[in-house]
């Protein structure tokens, strides 16, 4: 019963759902502060603009605040990077360690090089007698 629950929890779509919840809720405040207080001023120091939120342009008396879009894009990339390096990469490494190598159930016929079952005594293609493999 617990093995089934463990398999359910470690299944890919449950992990994907957990990552979505983490991106949407838990990292929102932290990453928003990181972007607003560290990344935006750092990029602004390079680009020469102190705050991206103030970047706008006007067409026919309509104001477009593209600075907020820039801040949101930087925030999204920061969240995605954090989730990938904190959750996805370690889970992939764990799954790779837990994976068992696939058992080899076939072999080649030494006469015609066709693929035959490992325990076969005779090749089904060329009908050659073959020594069985234990």
Say yes or no to pLDDT of 44 above 80: no
pLDDT of residue 49: 65
* pLDDT tens-place string over residues 101-123: 878 889 999 889 999 998 888 88
| Ramachandran category for residue 129: left, alpha or beta (phi over 0 → left; psi -120 to 50 → alpha) | beta
pLDDT in tens, 46-85: 877 656 777 888 999 999 888 888 878 877 887 777 778 8
Tokens for 60, please give them. 């026919």
Residues 56, 110, single domain; the answer is: no
Structure-model confidence comparison of residues 72 and 27, the more confident one: 72
Number of domains in the chain: 2
**Same domain? 48 vs 74:** yes
Q: What per-residue confidence (pLDDT) applies to 1?
A: 73
Q: Is the pLDDT of residue 98 over 80?
A: yes
Q: For 123-134, what is the mean pLDDT?
A: 84
HSE-up (13 A, CA, CB side) for residue 49: 12
For residue 42, pLDDT beyond 80? no
CATH code for the domain of 14: 1.10.1200
% of the chain beyond a pLDDT of 70: 93
- CA distance linking residue 75 with residue 10, whole number of Å: 28
Q: Which structural domain range is residue 45 located in?
A: 2-98
Shared domain for 42 and 93, answered yes or no, is yes
Q: Is 106 within 8 Å of 115 (Cβ atoms)?
A: yes
């Amino acid at each position: 019963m617990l093995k089934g629950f463990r398999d359910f929890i470690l299944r890919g779509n449950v992990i994907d759902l957990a990552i979505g919840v983490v991106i949407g809720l838990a990292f929102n405040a932290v990453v928003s502060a990181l972007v607003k207080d560290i990344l935006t001023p750092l990029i602004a120091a390079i680009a020469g603009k102190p705050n991206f939120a103030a970047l706008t342009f006007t067409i026919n008396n309509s104001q477009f605040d593209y600075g907020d879009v820039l801040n949101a894009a930087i925030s999204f990339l920061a969240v995605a990077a954090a989730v990938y390096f904190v959750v996805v990469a370690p889970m992939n490494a764990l799954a790779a360690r837990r994976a068992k190598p696939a058992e080899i159930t076939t072999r080649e016929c030494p006469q015609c090089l066709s693929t035959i079952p490992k325990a076969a005594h005779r090749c089904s293609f060329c009908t050659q007698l073959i020594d069985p493999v234990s």
